């Protein structure tokens, strides 16, 4: 029996079990409606927790002067506990904004103060080390007003982090992002936002990847209602909003996290060494556990229903897919690396269930897999034994660009190797291409702009000074790298905030090593608004590149036909979406009357007329305007009608061109 068949059998069996025992996945995934704390119609409170290792469970907080034992839960079957608190004069005894704790009496008799795993709002006050659980039940909650956008035909993702979205050295807010960053994203032509670090994480410098409260939107940026307004405003602009969801592991925090919730090292996680990720210093979920499945699937649904998110990027799933978690293992692409006892079938089954739930609830939702291993069938339909993701990240592409910039002179770049990296994907497996993401922006690495221009970004970006060779090279290659990645690398495109204009600083969150400084935990968008700085050129190019894709739709077109990858000339040409893309990566050679093949329709002796629709060398993009845009190019057919046309083009050095056949319908 193949792994795909086995996985599909496990998926259907688990789905059937959920149907028999929980009245279906629809009810099963609504755990947040009963677990945690809920106001009843009569003003009372219903409380429910899963703590199989506990001897006793209690609720305490401001409402009872922190008496730890005055409100005991009643023990139910399967490790569940419940409590009903009657109203006080038809009002809830626990008002909105009051602090709470779950008190656990462990089997050893230890008394533990915990935050409910289902807490909807937690916050850190003053100099407190730990987060407090705050009962969130506002009198007038925000109501989503705008409908969800339809799934984009070609997804252009702006990877975003609310906290660093201001140029000031502080944590920015949901409100700031809504008012100041969303309009920029819309103007740049991105139709999708991927929001990082929204699920609550006690350690800011973890970049949101050490989750402590899975149902709580991070309070460091504002309130849950302000996040809802952000998502709703994005929807009003026609922008799809994805959440960076972390179900691959959880923070080791116990005081304000899931770890040791019931006094045992298991509960939501595997016990013993299997429950620890040694590199990440975090806990690993027990995906075979019934209540863990309820918790994670309900978490998926919570973000869709409560906040209106349109899908998810699933972080770090390589760790989920294999028992070895990808540690100490390379992946060559040989299929024996993906099928065998090293595969965690429980985790794969969970991912299939998650994708099934998302796409059943909202068919236009988008799910993206972050997997470095290249696991086959992640993006195949579940009915075919796949995991059901819409896209996977093309993670080899940014590594290739960094390798070229670090290890090779420009004249030694291998055109065939670049094309191979950009096109090396399985048939019908949709990929999100990106030249760089947040990974390259972090301290210890460099963005493309920094690899290209380094310290000169601080001194030579003024338009009042002549181009230096370093800045000239950097600006031209920055545009070319992004365009060829956008057009050739996948069926979607991603950019990390600020990188579109070559943000001049790395990203470093406040920590002991930098004296808790926020200086590098920011994005200086104002640099693009300064007409005296060259950052505006890169910003303009990124905007026009995205808007051209919106017009012609190359991301949703079939994979490109590459007609030339010339090693000596450093020229790459290809066609996609009835556009002709020409790249000359040579650092010094320009070519007059360079013959470029095209398969555009036409019969001998008739010719086709082409015009330039994007020229990276244009003045508005910081180029040298070496081409006359008023002059069109005319192809000539070979004598045999069946053979493709060709045209003669002047191609300056370090330039990218997009040509349109004006004889074809636009």
Q: Which residues are catalytic?
A: 315, 370
Tokens of 437: 């993401």
Roughly what angle, to the nearest 10 degrees, separates helices 469-488 and 396-407? 160
- Closest among 232, 389, 218, 245 to 303, alpha carbons compared: 245
CB 309 within 8 A of CB 303: yes
From CA 55, how far away is CA 33, in angstroms rounded? 25
CA distances to 64, 434, 534 from 560, in Å: 67, 17, 32
Tokens of 126: 């003053």
Residue 530, CB half-sphere, CA atoms under 13 Å: how many?
Answer: 13
Tokens of 420: 């191979």
Residues 6+ apart with CB under 8 A from 468: 456, 460
Q: What is the DSSP letter of 479?
A: H
3-state secondary structure of 410: helix
CA distances to 187, 528, 551 from 239, in Å: 11, 22, 16
CB 248 within 8 A of CB 317: yes
> 């620890």: which residue's tokens?
276
618-622: long-range pairs with CB below 8 Å, 24+: 620/537, 620/540, 621/479, 621/537, 621/538, 621/540, 621/541, 621/544, 622/475, 622/476, 622/534, 622/537, 622/538, 622/541
From CA 386, how far away is CA 326, in angstroms rounded? 20
CB atoms under 10 Å from CB of 96, counted, come to 13
Q: What is the DSSP letter of 372?
A: S
242 - beta bridge partners? 194
585 - beta bridge partners? none
Phi, psi of 195 (to 5 degrees): -95, 120
From CA 306, how far away is CA 308, in angstroms rounded? 6
CB 114 within 8 A of CB 47: no
Judged by phi (left if over 0) then psi (alpha if -120 to 50, else beta), residue 308 lies in: left
Dihedral sign from CA coordinates of 41, 44, 46, 47? positive
* Pairing verdict, β 492-496 and 155-161: parallel
633 - beta bridge partners? 610
From CA 379, how far away is CA 376, in angstroms rounded? 8
């Amino acid at each position: 029996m193949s792994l795909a068949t086995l996985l599909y059998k496990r998926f259907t069996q688990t789905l059937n079990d959920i149907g028999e025992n929980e009245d279906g996945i629809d009810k099963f995934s609504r755990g947040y409606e009963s677990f945690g704390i809920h106001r009843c119609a009569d003003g009372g409170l219903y409380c429910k927790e899963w703590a199989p290792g506990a001897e006793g469970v209690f609720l305490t907080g401001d409402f009872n002067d922190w008496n730890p034992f005055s409100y005991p839960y009643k023990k139910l079957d399967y490790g569940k506990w419940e409590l009903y608190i009657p109203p006080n004069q038809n009002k809830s005894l626990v008002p909105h904004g009051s602090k709470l704790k779950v008190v656990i009496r462990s089997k050893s008799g230890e008394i533990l103060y915990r935050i409910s795993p289902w807490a909807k709002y937690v916050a850190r006050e003053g100099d407190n080390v730990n987060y407090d659980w705050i009962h969130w039940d506002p009198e007038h909650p925000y109501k989503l007003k705008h409908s969800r956008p339809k799934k984009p035909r070609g997804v252009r993702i702006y990877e975003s982090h609310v906290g660093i979205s201001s140029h000031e050295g502080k944590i920015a807010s949901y409100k700031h992002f809504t008012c100041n960053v969303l309009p920029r994203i819309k103007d740049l032509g991105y139709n999708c936002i991927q929001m990082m670090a929204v699920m609550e994480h006690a350690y800011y410098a973890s970049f949101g990847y050490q989750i402590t409260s899975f149902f709580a939107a991070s309070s460091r940026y504002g309130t849950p209602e302000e996040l809802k307004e952000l998502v709703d405003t994005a929807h009003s602009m026609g922008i799809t909003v994805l959440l960076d969801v972390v179900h691959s592991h959880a923070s080791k925090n116990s005081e304000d996290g899931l770890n040791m919730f019931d006094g045992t090292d298991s509960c939501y996680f595997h016990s013993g060494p299997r429950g620890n990720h040694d590199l990440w210093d975090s806990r690993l979920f027990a995906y075979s556990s019934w209540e863990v499945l309820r918790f994670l699937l309900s978490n998926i649904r919570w973000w869709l229903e409560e906040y209106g998110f349109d899908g998810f990027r699933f972080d770090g799933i390589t760790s989920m897919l294999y028992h070895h978690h990808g540690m100490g293992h390379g992946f060559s692409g040989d299929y024996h690396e993906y099928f065998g006892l090293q595969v965690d079938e429980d985790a794969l089954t969970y991912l299939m269930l998650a994708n099934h739930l998302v796409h059943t609830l909202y068919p236009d939702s988008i799910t993206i897999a972050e997997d470095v291993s290249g696991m086959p069938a992640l993006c195949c339909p579940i009915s075919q034994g796949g995991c059901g993701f819409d896209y996977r990240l093309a993670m080899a592409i940014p590594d290739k660009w960094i390798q070229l910039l670090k290890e090779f002179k420009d004249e030694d770049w291998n055109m065939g190797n670049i094309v191979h990296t950009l096109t090396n994907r399985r048939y019908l497996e949709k990929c999100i291409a990106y030249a760089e993401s947040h990974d390259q922006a972090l301290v210890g690495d460099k963005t493309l702009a920094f690899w290209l221009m380094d310290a000169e970004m601080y001194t030579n970006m003024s338009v009042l000074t002549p181009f230096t060779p370093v800045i000239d090279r950097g600006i031209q290659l920055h545009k070319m790298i992004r365009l060829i990645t956008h057009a050739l690398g996948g069926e979607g495109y991603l950019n990390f905030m600020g990188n579109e204009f070559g943000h001049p600083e790395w990203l470093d969150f406040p920590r002991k090593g930098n004296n808790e400084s926020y200086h590098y935990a920011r994005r200086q968008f104002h640099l693009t608004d300064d007409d005296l700085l060259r950052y505006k050129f890169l910003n303009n190019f990124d905007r026009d590149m995205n808007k051209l894709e919106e017009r012609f739709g190359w991301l949703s077109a079939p994979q490109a036909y590459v007609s030339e990858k010339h090693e000596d000339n450093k020229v790459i040409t290809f066609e996609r979406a009835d556009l002709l893309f020409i790249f000359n990566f040579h650092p010094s050679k320009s070519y007059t009357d360079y013959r470029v093949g095209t398969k555009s329709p036409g019969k001998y002796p008739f010719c086709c007329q082409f015009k330039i629709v994007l020229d990276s060398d244009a003045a508005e993009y910081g180029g040298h305007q070496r081409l006359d845009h008023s002059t069109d190019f005319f192809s000539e057919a070979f004598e045999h009608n069946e053979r493709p046309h060709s045209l003669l083009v002047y191609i300056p050095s370090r330039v990218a061109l997009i040509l349109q056949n004006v004889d074809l319908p636009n």
